Structure 1
Amino acid sequence: TEIFDDIKNEDQYNIHIELNHKKEPTILCSCASGMGTTSKLKDIILDSLPTGVTLKVLTYDYATLIKQ
């Protein structure tokens, strides 16, 4: 964290650090051909998971992702 504090003081970067933060397992689905394929992929992934597995599947437009 000391290195990040030094970088933050330079005002050139926007950094956010979360220590000891448990994240929900997540899969990100995106496709350059559009959201239709992405939605189908999400359904396939969710349908293939064993019962009781908790997993978040997010869908995003590819063009939007590459702009960020």
Structure 2
Amino acid sequence: MDKISYEVVEHLAVLSESPKGWKKELNLVSWNDRPAKFDIREWSPDHTKMSKGLTFTNAELSQLKKILAEMDI
């Protein structure tokens, strides 16, 4: 399996932090030298390990924003 490369282009927010120091973050991440996408996943304190996560294009994140604004939470 080929190694996956990534670059956190911009850190946007920390959503939560576990007792072990892993943080669920919203970032702009470039995967395999492709254009950056919005990314939500947990990262180890030194950003060398990560959990599975979700990536969103601008259009997808915009749609999600509309959906969340309509929810009563």
* Larger RCO, structure (CA 8 Å, separation 6 or more): 1
TM-score normalised by length of structure 1? 0.25
TM-score normalised by length of structure 2? 0.24
> Which has more radius of gyration?
1
